[in-house]
Amino acid sequence: MTDALPEKGVPGEQILAELRELRAGDLPTHGGRLFAYVYDPALDGLDDLARAAHATSAHVNGLDPTAFPSLLAMENALVAAAARLLGGGPATVGSVTSGGTESLILAVKAARDAHPRIRSPRLVIPSSAHAAFAKAAHYLRVGLDVVPVQDLRADPRAMAAAITPDTVLIAASAPSYAHGVVDPIPEIAATAAEHGIRFHVDACFGGWILPYLRRLGADLPHFDLAVPGVTSISVDLHKYAYAPKGVSILLHASEELRRPQYFAHADWPGYTMINPVISSTRSGGPIAAAYATLRSIGDAGYLALAGKTRESVRVLAAAVEATDGVRLYAPAETSVVCLASDGVDLFVLADELAARGWHTQPQMAHAGHPPSIHLTVTAAVHATVESFAPGLAAAVDAARARGPVQLPPLPPLTAEAVTPELIASLAEGLGLGAGDFTQMATVNTILNAAPPALREALLTGFLSLLQRPTHGDVMT
């Protein structure tokens, strides 16, 4: 790695060449063969537009909308668009955040701080809810009541039974990230309303595609602010709105519901700080890029993209169903295809798919669920989808030929026993030292066998090992 602070500045051309070289080692963000992390509409010219829009506002600071009214105007327009798409009414308000996690943390914070007299506030979620809720609970010291799902979906009765006098928020997903299924939002909303408890719909993943899938005739439950009892909803623009990273929207059904989300502090010698979201200084870049993306694609454009996505999901799901050795694990009702093993080692399969240029996301066994492979499907997949079935068949054959991962007997290990030295020797032994992450079956098999606390400790240790300053062979 080159030096980030060279003795003398380096010409721009050279720096951009370095960046391109670095980027060449990443998974492909475009081309419809990476089924996680990235969302690609494959629209000509859109990247250039978003880039230009990002550049116009990159140095603008969202800290103070009176200094930079351009950002306020764009934010209000984005919130209005989201509210229109997601069943908002005249009282709906919202905030632009940096991502789904921030939107969820703020939904939990608003609920917590709406009840200053509840000393030990609690949050009720289905076990399928996104990990960001656990993070919110952890950061905000809110108790977490995790309710088992039934057939992959939140169970409204069990959710109702989990409510206590300390419950400040109930949440569910539309759809869940792992399996892509929509929770029964109207039933849960009715319970929440009955108890006078806030109900957040996490539509971070699917909020910008579900309305279009419904318009295209998909049989999906109502899930948005139009459902009585839904008090807030989140949607990530950097997912199915296809905006560059760094933009999500949190909508509240009313101003009053949003109020405890804000943080204000005047009791210091500097400027009075009023923050609707977690960050204080915020770049206008992602907001301008999202604004440009929405205006460029437009409602009809999103409908067409949803149609391509839906067709791609159908073809992928059919490929899974037609392939011996794997099976669909969840109904492919939204924009996720989730497959499980029907005889083949899934972690070996994931490596074999990757070797053929199909990059999927393995998911570990959890609470009665077997390991699975997750595919986030976006419109770009449409162009390559017909070649998936032969690729999958070949990968399954290769995985069968290799056979399942055979772990050597491992010493018993607990989360507490994980030390930096142990992580370093494990990483070396597993061939991860050189930064090659293409052969992950053994690693995934070990992680899959580990209980969640140990899995967390191992991966935390590993990330911590990766995140070390690069000194050493400094070049100019």
Ligand X SMILES: *Cc1c(COP(=O)(O)O)cnc(C)c1O
User: Are β-strands 273-275 and 198-202 bridged in parallel, bridged antiparallel, or unpaired?
Assistant: unpaired
Rounded distance between C-alpha atoms, residue 224 and residue 244, angstroms: 24
Whether 337 contacts 313, CB under 8 Å: yes
* C-beta closer to ligand X: residue 125 or 423: 125
Q: Collapsing DSSP states into helix, strand and coil, what is residue 126? A: strand
Near ligand X by CB under 6 A, which window of 99-107, 211-219, 284-292, 395-403?
99-107
Rounded distance between C-alpha atoms, residue 218 and residue 310, angstroms: 9
Q: Which one, of 182, 249, 168, 244, lies nearest residue 213 by Cα?
A: 182
Considering only 62, 87, 99, 276, the residue that binds ligand X (CB under 6 A) is 99
Counting contacts by CB under 6 A, is residue 101 touching ligand X? yes
Binding mask 133-172 toward ligand X (x if CB under 6 A, else -) reads ----------------------------------------
Counting contacts by CB under 6 A, is residue 205 touching ligand X? yes
The DSSP element (H or E) to which 122 belongs, if any, is: strand 122-126
Near ligand X by CB under 6 A, which window of 49-57, 76-84, 116-124, 198-206?
198-206
Rounded distance between C-alpha atoms, residue 9 and residue 436, angstroms: 31
Near ligand X by CB under 6 A, which window of 81-89, 96-104, 136-144, 318-326?
96-104
**Which residues face 250 on adjacent strands?**
95, 234
* C-beta closer to ligand X: residue 205 or 462: 205
Considering only 204, 253, 317, 320, the residue that binds ligand X (CB under 6 A) is 204
Considering only 173, 293, 363, 378, the residue that binds ligand X (CB under 6 A) is 173
Q: Collapsing DSSP states into helix, strand and coil, what is residue 378? A: coil
> Taking the complex as a whole, how short is the minimal distance between the CB of residue 100 and ligand X, in angstroms?
2
Counting contacts by CB under 6 A, is residue 202 touching ligand X? yes
* C-beta closer to ligand X: residue 130 or 198: 130
* C-beta closer to ligand X: residue 138 or 265: 138
* C-beta closer to ligand X: residue 361 or 387: 361
Counting contacts by CB under 6 A, is residue 132 touching ligand X? yes
The DSSP element (H or E) to which 144 belongs, if any, is: strand 143-147
Alpha carbon 471 to its chain centroid, in Å, reads 33
Buried b (16+ CB within 10 A) or exposed e, 249-284: bbbbbeeebbebbeeeeeeeeeeeeebbbbeeebbb
Considering only 155, 236, 345, 352, the residue that binds ligand X (CB under 6 A) is 236
> Taking the complex as a whole, how short is the minimal distance between the CB of residue 366 and ligand X, in angstroms?
16
Counting contacts by CB under 6 A, is residue 369 touching ligand X? no
Q: Which one, of 172, 162, 169, lies nearest residue 130 by Cα?
A: 172
Residue indicated by tokens 């509840």: 118
Residue 415, Cβ density class (10 Å: 0-12 exposed, 13-18 middle, ≥19 buried): middle
Rounded distance between C-alpha atoms, residue 416 and residue 69, angstroms: 51
Counting contacts by CB under 6 A, is residue 388 touching ligand X? no
Near ligand X by CB under 6 A, which window of 151-159, 197-205, 302-310, 363-371?
197-205
Counting contacts by CB under 6 A, is residue 38 touching ligand X? no
Considering only 35, 39, 177, 358, the residue that binds ligand X (CB under 6 A) is 177
Structure tokens at 112: 């917590």
Binding stretches for ligand X (CB under 6 A): 99-101, 104, 130, 132, 173, 177, 202, 204-205, 236, 248
